[in-house]
Structure 1
Amino acid sequence: MSPGAAPDPGLAAKVTATTAVLLAALALLRLPAAAEAQLYNNPNFRCPYKPICASYVYCQGPLLYDYQFSGLFNDSKTFVDKRLLFPEEEIVRKYTALKKSRGGELSRAELETFLAENFADGNELIPFEPPDFTSEPSVLGYIQDGQYRRFAAKLNEVWKTLARVVDRDVLENPRMHSLLYVPNTVIIPGGRFTEVYYWDTYWIVKGLLLCDMFDTAKGVIDNIIYLVKKYGYMLNGSRNYYENRSQPPLLIPMVAAYYQLKQDEAWLLENLPVLELEFQFWMNNRMINVKKDGKTYRMAHYSVETCGPRPESFKEDFTLASNLTSDEERTNLYIELKTAAETGWDFSQRWTKTPPGQTESLLYLKTRSIIPVDLNAFLQLNAHYLSNWFFMAGDISKGEYYLQIAEELLTAIDEVMWREDLKSWFDWDNEDGQSRVDFYASNLTPLWTGSYRKAPQEMGKFAVEYLVSQGIISEDGIPRYLGIPTTLKNFGQQWEAPNMWPPLQMIGIQGLDNTLYPKAQQVAYRLGAKYLETNYVGFVRTGQMFEKYDMNQLGSIGGGGEYVPQTGFGWSNGACFEILSRYGHKLRSPQEYPLPN
């Protein structure tokens, strides 16, 4: 319906009738007493926040609970990725009647039968070979080492295995799917991740551009723009159960990467209002006051205040929350878990505040109280781009407005997060009013975004000193690991040591390189060489690329977290192409690991 158009009374009546049927069915559908006791200790308790999404199959309700605790699935994501064979209200009505006829409890066999009759595997993403795929992208010509050139050629072929288009039925019958429709080619990350993910897409786009797949890269960006137009922000991923949750905001840098290469000014200006909409989501929903040394700053944090467990990790969240006694505590934990997922770092000791004497646990997540270095640096960069583009468009008022935001964020990053004594930036604990001085790879993000006022070479010198002080490189600038550690502590979560993640490698490596300080650039090269080598050796051994790697063992995949290691893998491929495009003229592959034919 266009803005200002009169509402359709017929449509309103249909929606009202459908809602009434669904609510009536839900009123009859009751969980077993034990399950209800788990949901609410106090029967009068009501979660004060909005639901994750409107669906009573995918996001909330007893049917979701029953299937996630049925024991039918090893991974909670499996159920919520299924498609419906009948309208949701009909499925809920049938389930209500069946459960009532069985005295309120269904056997495993009955749940299996009902599942087979009413749900099917998603299969909404159809394999597709992008028309602009080329087996000889120009980046290959820059790679001097023969083995690495063959490795890059094989990586290039992986794009075809990750490319999909969304089935039209998702567009025509959106309530029958958790998957959200997007109009262009999708490059999935891989493994269990069979949808668009927000910050993964940045490194996928960079890889596509380096492989001369310009139309595909543009279409991938346009998919995110499509979702921003629909929702007012980019979701964590393209599933309805990711509503009201985002991820690190990198749409604007994606657009910048494409624009800098193709100079498509008409496309940029056409989409500028959408980029502004995405940026304003963060300004309007994720900014809080931060006080330090008598001054108040507006800075960004992650925050997802919705009811209930994450649908894709429902059982895991619910089981963890069962350690808490009050409904308020459980509700708060669910919020913290979803907020930690929004950071992209799910999960990490970076977000916990474990009391002295207690064992490190996600029960102590305090993500909302932490002001992250990387998020504020990303937004500062976004404001900088928006300012430049509005000036280019001739909108001086908006250009100055976003320039002011960029300057205010830059001041906050400098005055709240920078520690001159430690030569680095650090997350800020807004509850305790102090820096969190542990090493996190994200501490280097302002180098990548250029969010500093000192001379770049001076910042490069400081960065090298910081990495030496943390034992990540030697005094001579030699890496002690196979890349940049996520953290230096390991409490069993996947965004911790010993794992290394592609986006953190590229942010650190490119950030160091961008300072133009010779020693920092030398360290960047060495880190890039080490990280590429471990990807390569892993590929030689397995024929696969993985989402994360071990910082100590050459060619070994990373572990930990809520799911088994995933192959594919979109952002790992993109990171390797970025390293090869920068250093391919001098990188040398390990001769003891020849690539099989």
Structure 2
Amino acid sequence: MSKRKLLLILTTLIIALVLAVYFLRESLPTNVFLWTSSLLTSLKSHMGNSSSAAAVLGVLQTAYEQSQRIAYAIQPQDNQTLISTPLTPASAPAPMLPPTPITSSRNRSEQYVMMIPDQEDVLSSAVEKPQFACDETNSPNYMIYCQGELLHAVMMLNIFKDSKTFVDKPLKRDPEIVAAEFKDQFPGTITSNDREAVREFVNANFNEEGHELEECELVDWQKEPEQLLSIEDPDLRQFALQVNLIWKKLCRTIKKEVVEHPRRHSLIYVPNEFVVPGGRFREFYYWDTYWVIKGLLASGMHQTCKKMILNFHYLVDTIGFIPNGGRVYYLRRSQPPMFIPMIYEYHMATEDDEFLLSMLNSMEKEFSFWKNQRMINVTKNGKSYAVFRYRADTNVPREDYQTAERVDRQKKRKLWRDIASAAESGWDFSSRWFANRKTMDTIETSDIAPVDLNAIMYWNMKILAHLHGALGNVERRDELNRERSRFVDTFEAVFFDDREGAWFDLNIRTGERDDDAYPSLAVPLFTECYSSLNNHMMVDVLETLQRKGLLQFPGGVPTSLMKGTNQQWDYPNGWAPINHMIIEGLRKSNHPIKSVSV
């Protein structure tokens, strides 16, 4: 067959492929791609050095590769097959491997083959474009820690039991070099037989997780803080003193090497020491820090609190908001907005007006982030209201790809966004975000306006107004007070259910409130997000908590009554932040029943 005729056949075939995958939205038989790839490779090896032929072949190869990626993206996930290896230059023709089914479970021992596209799970322009947890706009090492062939291979081959292990490992060399060498070492399709080779590559190019952090000394720590010694109950006093000892074990500071080589680390630099949650959570986290600061203040550690707040001030100043935690893979999501309350707690303890003044711009900037990025208009009873929701700015897989395998391809972007948004909520994960209250594949976090988030945003308005007033900024104080007054009316109209006597999440998609039992319904008591004229509100909410069955457990309030979901934020687990807010909400009430309830 002549070169001209072969080129004509190939051109026609590739045009047909592109039309099929773009417009018919069908996944094509594997053999079609194998045959096309073989033709293209063969033609490249016989066309010689003709510049015009090379140009035509370049266009054809680009079109072929794009159609291949899109076809991969729309393959059925429950019985997916691979379509071919990436093409290589004519001087080194790529071997064509037979397609092998991917097993749906990473725990099975049989071999599976995985194709790694240039961008994982690429979809056509008809579907929402991929937004990675980090990319070239916010992290120069994105090709290692947020996307790319190496990350995909490590996760799909299940190299580590804990998916956080790899993305916390510091690089020994610059990310571009390591990414390029991985491509050179694994140029084609990666199979389960490559698991040990990939593991060896990681061991050769990465340090141990946590290597970039070191323990530090808390200069203001005291063995017996005055406030803790004043606790009258001997058991509670001893408990508090034991907690006080733990602070010394949890202090971390970032090594100089992170400043010198920031691109080699997934850790986000902050200038001061901080207290970490512990265990696998080696870095700082956003909303956890509010309760850490509450505890540090009780231990008299004002200087440590100030430094931790300054770290968040640094993040707002450099990034524009406070991310979920201290890693680059958290750069597209936040956590419940507790920065302003942290500063309030510190100011209440120290009356440090100079420090408060230095924090005003950061508080306003963080407040604006939530208003600009997390507000949505909803309609209730024919009226429009602006409320807050969790909606992370990423829509690609986090650690794994398995949850989405049960979901229609067109819905995967939203599913991945909703998984990240649930992590942003702090409630990761809970039946609260599941449409069927059972399984992750029905998650719809961004379609829910949560009671607690909106109550916390009201609290931010109230605190920010108070702090402006403390500094004599009367105009801004009054503006914020008017805003929070209007928001109380919005909150009542959108979230309060007269029949139940409490507040409930609003499902934006259906327009209905979700009246299942979650203790988040009591958070407005903690933030005092209700009219001062409604002095029966506490009793109504308390009765609702009792009627729903949330107060029947001697060990505290569970995060839900949903059994069998195997999610962290469901029964039988009860989490300290929610229990604290319920107790404090009841304590703040002026109603006589509060003492019995607490």
| Alignment TM-score > 0.5, same fold | yes
The verdict on how the C-alpha distance between 1:303 and 1:472 changes in structure 2, with shifts beyond 3 A counting, is closer
State the partner residue of 2:490: 412
Aligned counterpart for 1:400 among listed residues 478, 485, 508:
478
The verdict on how the C-alpha distance between 1:96 and 1:247 changes in structure 2, with shifts beyond 3 A counting, is same
State the partner residue of 1:519: 593
Aligned counterpart for 1:68 among listed residues 119, 138, 155:
155
AA partner of residue 595 (structure 2): Q
Aligned counterpart for 1:488 among listed residues 558, 561, 566:
561
State the partner residue of 1:335: 417
Asked if 2 retains the 8 angstrom alpha-carbon contact of 1:515 and 1:521, the reply is no
Asked if 2 retains the 8 angstrom alpha-carbon contact of 1:236 and 1:247, the reply is yes
- Structure 2 residues without counterparts, runs of 5 or longer: 1-85, 100-112, 136-141
State the partner residue of 2:67: none
Tell whether 2:344 aligns with 1:256. Answer: yes
Deviates more, 1:63-72 or 1:29-38: 29-38
C-alpha distance in structure 1 between counterparts of 2:304 and 2:122, whole Å: 51
Tell whether 2:318 aligns with 1:245. Answer: no
C-alpha distance in structure 1 between counterparts of 2:569 and 2:88, whole Å: 42
Superposition CA RMSD, Å: 2.4
C-alpha distance in structure 1 between counterparts of 2:533 and 2:349, whole Å: 27
What TM-score, normalized to structure 2? 0.77
Alignment of 1:371-390 (within 5 A): 371-390=449-468
AA partner of residue 442 (structure 1): S
State the partner residue of 1:119: 206
Deviates more, 1:463-472 or 1:261-270: 463-472
Asked if 1 retains the 8 angstrom alpha-carbon contact of 2:178 and 2:205, the reply is yes
C-alpha distance in structure 1 between counterparts of 2:343 and 2:352, whole Å: 10
String of CA shifts for 1:326-354, please: whole Å, max 9, x gaps: 1x322221111001111100111111112
State the partner residue of 1:469: 547
String of CA shifts for 1:408-429, please: whole Å, max 9, x gaps: 2211111111123212111111
AA partner of residue 111 (structure 1): V
String of CA shifts for 1:386-420, please: whole Å, max 9, x gaps: 22223344444433332232122211111111123
The verdict on how the C-alpha distance between 1:40 and 1:181 changes in structure 2, with shifts beyond 3 A counting, is closer
State the partner residue of 1:319: 402
State the partner residue of 1:148: 236
AA partner of residue 381 (structure 2): D
Aligned counterpart for 2:366 among listed residues 253, 278, 281:
278
Aligned counterpart for 1:441 among listed residues 511, 514, 519:
519
Tell me the secondary structure at the aligned position of residue 290 of structure 1.
strand
AA partner of residue 520 (structure 1): K
State the partner residue of 2:274: 186
State the partner residue of 1:176: 264
Identity of aligned residues (%): 35
C-alpha distance in structure 2 between counterparts of 1:242 and 1:41, whole Å: 21
State the partner residue of 2:134: 53
C-alpha distance in structure 2 between counterparts of 1:414 and 1:28, whole Å: 62
Deviates more, 1:206-215 or 1:45-54: 45-54
The verdict on how the C-alpha distance between 1:210 and 1:28 changes in structure 2, with shifts beyond 3 A counting, is farther
Asked if 1 retains the 8 angstrom alpha-carbon contact of 2:130 and 2:396, the reply is no
The verdict on how the C-alpha distance between 1:191 and 1:45 changes in structure 2, with shifts beyond 3 A counting, is farther
The verdict on how the C-alpha distance between 1:262 and 1:42 changes in structure 2, with shifts beyond 3 A counting, is closer
State the partner residue of 2:439: 361
Tell me the secondary structure at the aligned position of residue 198 of structure 1.
coil
State the partner residue of 1:350: 432
**Which gives a bigger RCO, structure 1 or 2 (Cα 8 Å, sep 6+)?**
1
AA partner of residue 218 (structure 1): K
Using the TM superposition, give the Cα deviation of residue 320 of structure 1 relative to its aligned residue in structure 2, in angstroms: 1.1
C-alpha distance in structure 1 between counterparts of 2:501 and 2:485, whole Å: 21
Alignment of 1:522-541 (within 5 A): 522-524=596-598
State the partner residue of 1:295: 383
Tell whether 2:131 aligns with 1:131. Answer: no
Tell me the secondary structure at the aligned position of residue 164 of structure 1.
strand
Tell me the secondary structure at the aligned position of residue 296 of structure 1.
strand
Asked if 2 retains the 8 angstrom alpha-carbon contact of 1:28 and 1:96, the reply is no
Using the TM superposition, give the Cα deviation of residue 255 of structure 1 relative to its aligned residue in structure 2, in angstroms: 0.4
C-alpha distance in structure 2 between counterparts of 1:207 and 1:368, whole Å: 32
The verdict on how the C-alpha distance between 1:35 and 1:470 changes in structure 2, with shifts beyond 3 A counting, is same
Tell whether 2:185 aligns with 1:107. Answer: no
C-alpha distance in structure 1 between counterparts of 2:486 and 2:151, whole Å: 44
State the partner residue of 1:497: 571
Using the TM superposition, give the Cα deviation of residue 44 of structure 1 relative to its aligned residue in structure 2, in angstroms: 7.9
State the partner residue of 2:288: 200
Whichever of the two has the greater Rg, that structure is 2
Using the TM superposition, give the Cα deviation of residue 112 of structure 1 relative to its aligned residue in structure 2, in angstroms: 2.0
What TM-score, normalized to structure 1? 0.77
- Structure 1 residues without counterparts, runs of 5 or longer: 1-25, 474-478, 525-597
